[in-house]
Chain A
Amino acid sequence: MLRVIAGLLTPREGRVALGDRTWLDTVAGVDLPPERRRVGYLFQEYALFPHLDVLANVRFGARNGGTVEQLLERFRIAHLARARIGELSGGERQRVALARALATDPGVLLLDEPLSALDAHTKAAVRLELHELLRDLALPTVLVTHDFEDAAALADRVGVVVDGRILQQGTAADLVAMPADPFVASFTGATILEGVARPGPSGLTEVVLDRGGTVWSTDPGAGRVVLAVYPWEVSLSRDLSGDSAVNHVRAPIVTLVPVGNRVRARVGPLVAEVTTASAERLGLAVGEVVVASFKATATRVLPL
């Protein structure tokens, strides 16, 4: 998709326009070459020119020299101006690539997996920086990622693309609240359980899971369905609690993984996310039997 916008790939049919400037219109026979479109393209592996130093890379497509100086300062790479690309760290390379892309004064920014080439350690910091940068630039930006967290952190609108088609688009919060299909639910982080649904008493839907057990949902549904539950909707306790949750699963803890200030526990078919403090208070450990509870309102029933 980014290559089509940039003009590096010509689709059989389609239209690409920025504002009132048409870049591609297969019906009207318009197809501007990449160098006449105004795109700032951040390639996945950055595609920096290895035979040029940092300064020459940034200057390659620059409109004027003053911008180059400012960009080097802004991306904190001025001290690396004479460095070869091979001498740079992953984070530095990305900053050089961004500076190079912005030096052309683009009308749109295309980011191809901007965080995937970085190690986990660098990633969180770069994500924050990138977020601030995108906010300051106020440029239309298309970002491609396989990581919903990246999309949620960086994008105003998220479109889930499968096999070249947009399955669903909306804000990250929309996608989580109302996943349109099992893939979107799983992509946004939900645990997916398959089962058969039928209307139950008091307006609830009863879903008999393939792997055993029954779950109640406030979503309507009938026949074969997928039930989506987000890990942060699942609470853990030692005993069957007297809370308002109607869904309980009693099972041993399979895995226990710390994620930042939370702990992600796999309990039977479910994944629960609880704070580190709660995990310590409950004395969670792999193999211990706990009760995972979640409310009927916290489940989404999606047709399969």
Chain B
Amino acid sequence: MTKTKLLVVDDAPFVLKALRDTLEAHGYEVHEASNGEEAIVRYSEVNPDVVLMDILMPKMDGISAIRNIVSNDPDAKIIAVTAVGKRGLEAECVDAGASGFILKPFKTRDLLVTIGRLSNYEGN
């Protein structure tokens, strides 16, 4: 059985490392990008099952990256993972094409459930 491929996008190196460590321990294949531009490039290279996308990032923010990825691949499964608790941000992410929204800090279980829901959906 092949592992589910994740692309984790975040500009904070320790967040990337923590997510890689915990997600690999839960059996996922993890790829990284540290801004929106890089995310777009990595997405086409890796073709991940699910993307975890930070929103506030240098070069290109998460919303623009989500929009770009979804316009090229309408089936892309992207979860916005952000520390910004601004009202209306969730709606903005969903409008851009995100399939999920998780506020940092999150319970790993909640993140895994959301990833599971999106990757199974694709499998069926």
Q: Do A and B come from one complex?
A: no
